[in-house]
A and B are shown apart, each in its own frame.
Chain A
């Protein structure tokens, strides 16, 4: 049994406004294992993004506990790449270190190496507008990795990209997460993406967000996400999650 890196206990979030209160998350319990890719799927508006917001500390929780095993650092990746057009690729990748005042020679070299390793060597001094959407997302991922986080929070990564690029990038993302030995929590509304990438999929209910089902994803010949999509177990998992989500138009 793998060790838990993060425990979410009885997490509740209530949004307040003048005329009403909205229960977004109700008594949620999730254990996140070390070095796993955990996908969280759920109907849109169920509070998935709120969950990540709480984990990053941007959104205050109403009650419950979030327990990190040791002092764990978090890296947050948003839906859009958020590259700043006034910074070069290298400067964009370094922003996290700048903010944390850890822009040492050593760390800069590490970011440089990451950029080299993932095919962005020739673009370091270019500005984001000269890069394709896929490459921009890769820079965003490297920016997230630059501060050496233990847990990556991915909020519908790549949802702004076209289908082809997304497929290619999911392999990319998978490899990078595994290479760098990270734990990842990924929110998505794309069942196929969740099944093909994750080692575990948590299906959430409509608001208030609670756990409906948890699936351990096991492929006989575990491979890259695009390969997994062709495996015979894939459709089985896909159907079960599809039924859980119970989509009615």
Chain B
């Protein structure tokens, strides 16, 4: 490292400074927004009953922690997200691999996938509750209907668009289909697979909250629903706020793994 020229060190410094500047500006924007929000509510320019305020969000969070087991709500939602992510990604991965290995299946199921993917899933809500029952299972099934099909479609598109030269090369070496899958398809698409996981997680986040809005006794979606029913806007906004934090944490976790690869 010490062998770099002075110019190069300057260049690296500049690069680092630019990165810091971006992060700093990002934080400043959010702080500024919160500050304006707080000030507006302090001086009664906006109605805190309708719009809440950063300080009351913090108060609500502390309150919920003590009286209402807020962590439990967060934990339940996280658990539901995790289960649906694993299920939908696992099943999606299997089906996409199957479609890649069997052109006939892919062709047969293509229109079904498209229809299922574009169907508004909320419409299925009542049916899911009736069929699966008013439990956590309903929420997970709801989430699956939202995330599974797009996962299959994305992965299958990536798999079948793999650089054909690699495949020709391996075929000329008399590779089996499974060898091509293992050594080319999975490896060449590593980045794409991680991107699919990103989409999958955010889809499941949507799915789980939607499921919780429809049927639940716990979780952030439940708190939002409950808050809106009793007109406790503080509770609604606080839950949304925590949700935003959760989704950004999930995003950074995946990003971390992406960089490691």
Contacts and interface: CB of A to CB of B under 8 A. Distances in A.
B187 A86 contact: yes
Is the interface on chain B under 10, 10 to 19, 20 to 34, or 35 or more residues?
10 to 19
B173 A57 contact: no
Contact of B168 (A78, A87, A147): A78
A221 interface: no
A99 interface: yes
A96 B173 CA distance: 6
B183 interface: yes
A147 B173 CA distance: 9
A180 to B, nearest CB: 18
B20 interface: no
A98 B176 CA distance: 12
Contact of B172 (A56, A84, A86, A87): A56
Could you say which of B170, B173, B190 has the most chain A C-beta atoms within 10 Å of its C-beta? B173
A57 B171 CA distance: 8
B165 A78 contact: yes
A84 B189 CA distance: 12
Contacts of A80: 165
B172 A57 contact: yes
B171 A95 contact: no
A80 B172 CA distance: 15
Interface in B152-179: 165-166, 168-175, 179
B172 A100 contact: no
A100 B174 contact: yes
A12 B173 CA distance: 23
B193 to A, nearest CB: 13
Given A84-B188, A86-B187, A86-B190, A99 B174 contact: yes
A95 B172 contact: no
A74 interface: yes
Contact of A99 (B165, B170, B190): B170
A99 B166 contact: no
Interface residues of A, number: 18
A76 interface: yes
Nearest to B163: A82
B169 to A, nearest CB: 5
A1 interface: no
A249 interface: no
B21 to A, nearest CB: 30
Interface string A66-84: 0000000011101010101
Given A98-B183, A99-B179, A58 B171 contact: yes
Contacts of B175: 99
Identify which of B166, B174, B175, B183 gathers the most chain A CB atoms within 10 Å of its CB: B174
Given A78-B165, A99-B179, A84 B187 contact: yes
Nearest to A140: B169
Contacts of B172: 56-58, 74-76
Nearest to A147: B173
Interface in B189-217: 190
A23 to B, nearest CB: 23
Given A84-B188, A98-B183, A57 B174 contact: yes
A86 B165 CA distance: 15
Nearest to A143: B169
Residue of A74, A80, A95, A99 with highest tally of chain B CB at under 10 A: A99
Contacts of B165: 78, 80, 82
Nearest to B179: A99
B61 to A, nearest CB: 44
Interface string B111-127: 00000000000000000
B166 A84 contact: yes
B173 A100 contact: yes
Interface in A95-127: 95-96, 98-100
Contacts of B171: 56-58
B183 A95 contact: yes
Interface of A: 56-58, 74-76, 78, 80, 82, 84, 86-87, 95-96, 98-100, 147
Interface of B: 165-166, 168-175, 179, 183-184, 187-188, 190
Given A57-B172, A100-B173, 12 more contacts: A57-B171, A58-B168, A58-B171, A76-B173, A78-B169, A80-B165, A84-B166, A86-B190, A99-B174, A99-B175, A99-B179, A147-B173
22 contacts: A56-B171, A56-B172, A57-B171, A58-B168, A58-B171, A58-B172, A75-B172, A76-B168, A76-B169, A76-B172, A78-B169, A80-B165, A84-B166, A84-B184, A95-B170, A95-B183, A98-B183, A99-B173, A99-B174, A99-B179, A100-B174, A147-B173
**Which 4 A-B pairs rank lowest in CB-CB distance, beginning with the nearest?**
A76-B172, A56-B172, A99-B173, A99-B175
